[in-house]
Amino acid sequence: MTHIAINPSDATVFAPTLPSGYDTHREPWDAPAPLTVSVLLHAPYYLDVNLEGQYRAASMPGGVGGSYPEPKGGPERGQVAKVSQYEFGLTNGLDRLLRTADRHGVPVAVALDAYGCREVPGLARRVARAAGEVVVRGEAATSVIDAQMSEAEERDYVERSVDAVRAATGVEATGWFGPERGCTDRTTQVLRESGITWFGDWSVDERPVVLDGPAAGLCAVPFSLDTEDSFQLYVRGGTFQDYEQLLNDTVDQLLADAAVVGPRFLGLSWAGWVLGQACYADVAERLLARLAAEPDVRVVLPSQVVPAA
């Protein structure tokens, strides 16, 4: 028998002990519309080379070749295509998506990381003015929470990230989306103790799920990986036509399901460096126009689906 090492010793394991003890049946979600949608725009800052003590994902989407392995600690020389692509997303790309959402009266949240707030002049102020909600996105796109961190290191990572985003924007951000959705078995507790009320890393359901145990009160607001622009267009190598069809099919299916199982939730996770590109702009334009016009759809900020404590 051939043994396949699913998690080799040098792999970065993001969720080694993802809790799976929830009941398979939950009480119906009490939402005022058949389908609730939240749009989260990402403004990740890409570190070409990590500093000592920072953990990097094994691969990152973008650049020439889509998604490919990265040397530990980062490449030996600059990846001009990938770095500039991400930086485009922090300016032109994010702005384009914000303008599109504003035209259709769609509220959006924006996820900022600590490096973006520090290194890109005006980004935090722009987001604080234009976004309906500010979300903390960790330290940087290429600095993730890793299972090798000690509890003290992880707690420091979260608190530094939260403090940096709050200080730069002047907004009391209470949402979290980890770079590459990275977490350990203690991340949810650390988030809760740092004043976070919801996080978007777990696609555990088609409705918000309130956690119990050490992270009691923290809400998992599901932003599906399969409807995420960077995953579909760069990791899976799909076309923008296929991606647009996938999004519309998802809305159709969730509306149909709502008539059977009750209200559904769809979290849309879009990056400035992906759907904010001019060549993909029509996808966001048409989908947001549809969502705004659908009588059975309400579009709200992620924090607005978190049950009151």
pLDDT of residue 95: 98
Establish if 8 belongs to a structural domain.
no
First-last CA distance in the chain = 52
Q: Are 261 and 69 in contact (CB under 8 A)?
A: no
- Tell me the CATH number at 275: 3.20.20.370
Tally of domains in the chain: 1
Nearest to 58 by CA among 150, 153, 182: 182
What is the C-alpha radius of gyration for the chain, rounded to an integer number of angstroms? 19
pLDDT of residue 71: 57
Establish if 2 belongs to a structural domain.
no
Residue 230: give the domain boundaries.
Answer: 35-305
pLDDT of residue 36: 99
Establish if 12 belongs to a structural domain.
no
Residue 295: which residues within 8 A CB-CB, separation 6 or more?
none
DSSP-H helix ranges across 194-239: 229-230
Establish if 25 belongs to a structural domain.
no
Nearest to 284 by CA among 296, 294, 270: 270
- Stated length of the chain: 309
Establish if 289 belongs to a structural domain.
yes
CA pair distance 279, 269, nearest whole angstrom:
18
pLDDT of residue 7: 42
Establish if 6 belongs to a structural domain.
no
Establish if 15 belongs to a structural domain.
no
Q: Are 303 and 171 in contact (CB under 8 A)?
A: no
Nearest to 227 by CA among 243, 208, 205: 243
pLDDT per residue as tens, the chain (309 positions): 333 344 444 444 444 445 555 555 677 899 999 999 999 999 999 988 788 888 888 777 777 554 455 655 555 555 778 888 999 999 999 999 999 999 999 999 999 999 999 999 899 999 999 999 999 999 999 999 998 999 999 999 999 999 999 999 999 999 999 999 999 999 999 999 999 999 999 998 999 999 988 999 999 999 999 999 999 998 899 999 999 999 999 999 999 999 999 999 999 999 999 999 999 999 999 999 999 999 999 999 999 999 986
Nearest-5° Cα angle at 180, 306 to 76: 155
CA pair distance 112, 116, nearest whole angstrom:
7
Establish if 17 belongs to a structural domain.
no
